[in-house]
Amino acid sequence: MNKSELVELVAGKADISKSSAADAVEAVIDGITGALKSGDSVTFVGFGTFSVGRREARDGRNPRTGETIKIKASNLAKFKAGKGLKDALN
């Protein structure tokens, strides 16, 4: 499912226009992104938790030349599925 399919699904389930559904989906994405940028986690009880993980700096290799390169430290988004989502999938 991509974003436009999600917008259609939300519009149908909530009986609202696609434009309103697109605004709602965008607002949720912006809210999650903003919280993660500030270092907070976002929890939807029964669904899961979005959080920020830290990837430390490390040495890597250029696969083309075999040369050792430095890879910078970075932040990444993590998602841990909640019990309700796990149960729904199994």
Give strand pairing partners of 60.
69
Say which DSSP state 65 is in: T
pLDDT in tens, the chain (90 residues): 999 999 999 999 999 999 999 999 999 999 999 999 999 999 999 999 999 999 999 999 999 999 999 999 999 999 999 999 999 999
Q: What is the DSSP string of 71-89?
A: E--EEEEEEEE-HHHHHHH
Give strand pairing partners of 58.
71
| Total domains present in the chain | 1
Model confidence, pTM: 0.80
Domain encompassing residue 57: 3-89
User: Would you state the pLDDT for residue 62?
Assistant: 93
Domain with 84 in it: what CATH number?
Answer: 4.10.520.10
Share above pLDDT 70 across residues of the chain, in percent, rounded to a whole number: 100
